[in-house]
Amino acid sequence: MTQTSTISPAVRRAPRAMAPTLAGALVGIQAALLSWILVVTPVVAAFTATAGQDFNAGVSWADAARFGSSLWVLGHFGWTVMGTGSDQTMITISPLGLPLISALAAAAMSRLTAARGWPLVGGGLVGFLAVDALIGWVLAGPARPSAWAALLGGAAAAGAGLLWANRPNNGDLLGRREEALGPRLPAGLTASLKAATMIAGLVIAGALALAVALGIGGWRRFADLFRSLDTGTIGGIALAAACLSLAPNLVAWLIAYLAGPGFSVGSGTSFSVFETVGGAEPALPLVGLLPTADPPSFAVALIAVPVLAGIMAGWWLQRQLDGPWWQGIMGAALAGLVAAVGLAAFVALAGGAGGPGRLGVIGASFWPLAGWLWLEAGIGAIIGVSAVSRPWSRRGR
């Protein structure tokens, strides 16, 4: 009788998982390259389509790529120089759509990897900043002096996207459970910060709704300006991409419009609920959505948007607190202040210099806008708190 022995097949080892830091670095590199490609590709395509025109004489595709890289640096809060010699003009206005694209790209790429935690976030920042430095100091051309500013802006955008993608694990990122952090902060402070977030979100939603209304009412002027530039098919795509990248700037300017001080699109211009003063404006179809005549008398009622946002947040805030009525009043004032500073900073980031001469002033001033927003949102929050606590009643006293 012959005895046969069976040989068990070799057990294949599972492949080792990539180190979280290395995975994060690849995520950051891919996110930076993706956002850069989305900016440079329309620029190079528009140059290729118009290569035979007189204004493109002596310009190569490499020059177009450097120009697109300069726009990418500009979009991450750098600056660039247009023109030559005495006709040089510094452009400092940043299209807020570009850092938003970088943040979304970082979040999307982070979701594609199984790694989580601080090693992923740190590696992602290192990878993004490496590509950011390469673009800023090697490819950007006239925007090269502002590469350090683009590093800060890119780090903020990529960091926001990475943290957003890891938000279910924020407690693990901090090394402790998220629920354990609540008792470490005063309940009133935590509730006030949440109320400030609510105020800011409601005001931004109001500005977005106003932008949609302006788009519906001014689409004919927008289309006429678009056609008057005669950019062709490829150039039209690039121009449409530029308008989309500036759409968050328009929403930010409309926050100043709702608050009362308004904004300017060039020196001597003013767009507010009180008056409209036109003048030299950038040759962008997006400007066609802005009102051309003085607003009607009922437009002043738009100032009620920050007040109503404060009332809703104050009503919510007082229901979260379990203390005397004056604690709610102080929390409402703090919520209004935090929301006002945050919104005014957002509007300030959307402004800058957009061209020579009168186009050097675009946007709204920080301090007047912050004061108006604090007054409106703070009063609204105090009204909301008082409506719940009723300090004037016998029981409240």
The β-bridge relationship of strands 362-363 and 264-265 is antiparallel
For residues 242 and 365, state if they share a domain. yes
Structural domain includes residue 13: no
For residues 159 and 191, state if they share a domain. no
Model confidence pLDDT, tens digit, residues 47-64: 777 665 655 555 677 778
Single residue among 176, 211, 233 that ends a domain in this structure: 176
Model confidence pLDDT, tens digit, residues 70-116: 999 999 999 988 766 666 788 899 999 999 999 999 999 988 887 77
pLDDT at 66 over 50: yes
Q: 379 or 59: which carries more pLDDT confidence?
A: 379
Q: 342 or 140: which carries more pLDDT confidence?
A: 342
For residues 38 and 165, state if they share a domain. yes
For residues 361 and 382, state if they share a domain. yes
Structural domain includes residue 395: no
Using 50, 70 and 90 to split pLDDT, how confident is the model at 321? confident
For residue 101, what are its two tokens?
């694209």
Can you name the residues that pair with 80 across neighbouring β-strands?
Answer: 91
For residues 365 and 318, state if they share a domain. yes
Q: 298 or 56: which carries more pLDDT confidence?
A: 298
Phi, psi of 294 (to 5 degrees): -60, 140
Using 50, 70 and 90 to split pLDDT, how confident is the model at 184? low
Single residue among 146, 176, 206 that ends a domain in this structure: 176
pLDDT at position 336: 96
Range of the domain at 315: 187-389
Cα torsion angle, 217, 258, 356, 98, sign? negative
For residues 109 and 137, state if they share a domain. yes
Structural domain includes residue 3: no
For residues 129 and 248, state if they share a domain. no
pLDDT at 250 over 90: yes
Q: Characterise 356 by phi-psi region: left (phi > 0), alpha (psi -120 to 50), beta (else).
A: beta
Length of the chain: 397
Structural domain includes residue 325: yes
pLDDT at position 225: 84
Q: Helix or strand or coil: residue 251?
A: helix
Q: Angle 164-160-146 (CA atoms, 0-180°, nearest 5)?
A: 165
Structural domain includes residue 14: no
| Residue written as token pair 């090394």 | 175
Q: 385 or 388: which carries more pLDDT confidence?
A: 385
| Residue written as token pair 């003085």 | 294
For residues 245 and 361, state if they share a domain. yes
Q: 260 or 180: which carries more pLDDT confidence?
A: 260
End-to-end CA distance of the chain: 103
Distance separating alpha carbons of residues 131 and 302, to the nearest angstrom? 44
Distance separating alpha carbons of residues 275 and 329, to the nearest angstrom? 34
56 exposure class (CB count in 10 Å sphere: 0-12, 13-18, 19+) = middle
Distance separating alpha carbons of residues 82 and 357, to the nearest angstrom? 13
Distances (CA, A) of 171 to 48, 259, 316, 353: 50, 36, 25, 41
- Residues with Cβ < 8 Å from 79, sequence gap 6 or more? 90, 91, 92, 143, 145, 146, 149, 352
What does the mean pLDDT of the chain come to?
A: 83
Model confidence pLDDT, tens digit, residues 215-235: 998 888 888 888 887 777 667
For residues 150 and 216, state if they share a domain. no
Half-sphere exposure of 122 (CA within 13 A, CB side): 8
For residues 198-237, one letter each, b for 16 or more C-beta atoms within 10 angstroms of the residue's C-beta and e for the rest, the string is bbbebbbebbbebbeebeeebeeebeebbeeeebeebbbb
pLDDT at position 58: 59
Using 50, 70 and 90 to split pLDDT, how confident is the model at 179? very low
Half-sphere exposure of 241 (CA within 13 A, CB side): 23
pLDDT at 14 over 50: no
Single residue among 176, 202, 217 that ends a domain in this structure: 176
For residues 275 and 161, state if they share a domain. no
* Closest among 271, 153, 259 to 200, alpha carbons compared: 259
Q: pTM of the predicted model, to two decimals? A: 0.86
For residues 91 and 165, state if they share a domain. yes
CA dihedral 101, 103, 105, 109 (to 10 degrees): 180
Distance separating alpha carbons of residues 26 and 292, to the nearest angstrom? 48
Structural domain includes residue 272: yes
With a pLDDT cut of 90, the percent of the chain lying above it is 47
For residue 161, what are its two tokens?
């996207």
Structural domain includes residue 63: yes
| Residue written as token pair 């020579």 | 356
pLDDT at position 102: 95
Q: What are the respective helix, strand and coil percentages of the chain, to the nearest 5?
A: 70, 5, 25
Using 50, 70 and 90 to split pLDDT, how confident is the model at 169? low
pLDDT at position 174: 45
pLDDT at 7 over 60: no
Model confidence pLDDT, tens digit, residues 26-37: 999 999 999 999
For residues 171 and 211, state if they share a domain. no
pLDDT at position 175: 46
- What value does the mean pLDDT take over residues 254-271? 91
Using 50, 70 and 90 to split pLDDT, how confident is the model at 2? low
Q: Report the number of distinct structural domains present in the chain.
A: 2
pLDDT at 171 over 60: no
Q: How many CB atoms lie within 10 A of CB 374?
A: 22
Structural domain includes residue 12: no
Which of 216-220, 288-292, 355-359, 393-397 holds the top average pLDDT? 216-220
* Closest among 264, 291, 262 to 274, alpha carbons compared: 262
pLDDT at position 51: 61
Q: Helix or strand or coil: residue 51?
A: coil
